[in-house]
Amino acid sequence: MTDPTTPGAGTEPAPDPAPGPGAVLVMGEALIDLVPVPEEPAGYRAEPGGAPANVAAGLARLGTPSWFAGALGGDGFARMIEDRLRSAGTELGLCARSELPTTLAVADPGPDGTTYHFHLGDTATFRLPDLSARVDRFAAVYVGGVAAVVDPAADAVAATARAGAAASLLVVDPNVREDRTIDPVRAGRLLRELCGAAQVVKASDEDLARLWPGTDPDESARRLAREGRLVVLTRGARGATAYAGEREPVSVPAVPVEVVNTIGAGDAFMAGVLNWLTTHGADTGVGVAALPREQVTRMLGFAARVAASVCARTGTEPTRPPGT
């Protein structure tokens, strides 16, 4: 087995990429979701997942060049993840490699959403390289999720995020996860720091309630926006609201569909926001909080339709809305 601390197993970056205009660097975890099979009470289906990997695949499906900066293991699950990302069109040249196995997340869908139980120990998934020196080649850098709070990935994510905020457009989705293996106090601190560094924050109302307990999520979003950010607050079936700087928020309803699946809908929404920003020339930290109200409304509507394309069928792969 390769030692995960040696070159080639997660610490050595790949050769310099040439991502091209509008490309997005997506840093974080690619793992396997074990999802219950409704028709088989004791059955689970293995599906490639991880919020950052979902965003990377979603961006590529929507036509945005995406480079996934995760870590892939040496098992069959890793090959499944790699096949999924490559088939979507995601570039994997910045991925670390290891012979260690892949992290598993056991999904537990319920009436209030899906919770996860993680199997993290001694896996390849979180052995990420520091890519601070590469971020200036990208239009935007996305970070968030479990990799932002789990060692040894957390330090690499934080360093890359700081560099991304200085040289590019830093987009953060805290995607808060609670699990016995995750220290909630440290995780909350790390995610709040990432939100504080970002020019764009996309978060659910549940995320903000966990990060700033005792404060209404709308007020937390307003405060983050007043500091010069674009903040997108999602509320599931109740739609989404964007807060840009000091201006009044903009809201759109969720797109009505017959819901088949909710796993990955938030990541599809995130991919829709990133795709819209990079294709409409809004991928600069200086101007993103000053987007005209009409453009913010269009961005939210587009992202809502992208999310609906996931909710309307099984799987986590979004499709581009007709006519866009």
In the DSSP assignment, the letter for residue 180 is: T
CA–CA gap between residue 10 and residue 98 (Å, rounded):
6
Q: Would you say residue 5 has pLDDT above 70?
A: no
pLDDT tens track for 181-208: 899 999 999 999 999 999 999 999 999 9
Q: What does the pLDDT average to over 293-319?
A: 88
Residue type, 277: L
How is the chain split into domains, by residue range? 24-311
pLDDT tens track for 247-283: 999 999 988 877 777 778 899 999 999 999 999 876 5
Beta carbons of 147 and 28 less than 8 angstroms apart: yes
Q: Would you say residue 109 has pLDDT above 90?
A: no
CB proximity list for 216: less than 8 A, separation 6 or greater: none
Q: Give residue 11's pLDDT.
A: 45
Q: How far apart are the first and last CA of the chain?
A: 47
163: nearest Cα among 128, 135, 144, 190: 135
Q: What is the CATH number of domain 24-311?
A: 3.40.1190.20
Range in 121-125, 159-163, 318-322 the model is least confident about: 318-322
The CA-based angle 240-193-273, given to 5 degrees, is 30
270: nearest Cα among 230, 316, 303, 239: 303
39 compared with 78, residue with greater pLDDT:
78
pLDDT tens track for 210-244: 999 999 999 999 999 999 999 999 998 899 999 99
pLDDT tens track for 46-81: 999 999 999 999 999 999 999 999 999 999 999 999
CA–CA gap between residue 77 and residue 31 (Å, rounded):
8
In the DSSP assignment, the letter for residue 171 is: E
Q: What is the mean pLDDT of the chain?
A: 89
Q: Would you say residue 295 has pLDDT above 70?
A: yes
Residue for token digits 């939210």? 300
Q: Give residue 12's pLDDT.
A: 52
Beta carbons of 277 and 288 less than 8 angstroms apart: yes
CB proximity list for 315: less than 8 A, separation 6 or greater: 47, 261, 264
Q: E-strand spans in 235-288? A: 240-244, 250-252
Taking residue 167's Cβ as centre, other Cβ atoms within 10 Å add up to 17
SS3 234: strand
> Could you tell me how far CA 152 lies from the centroid of its own chain?
18
CA–CA gap between residue 214 and residue 177 (Å, rounded):
18
Instruction: List the structure tokens of 235.
Output: 């509320």
Q: Alpha helix (H) ranges present in 173-311?
A: 184-197, 205-211, 217-226, 265-279, 293-311
11: nearest Cα among 191, 131, 188, 138: 131
CA–CA gap between residue 298 and residue 273 (Å, rounded):
10
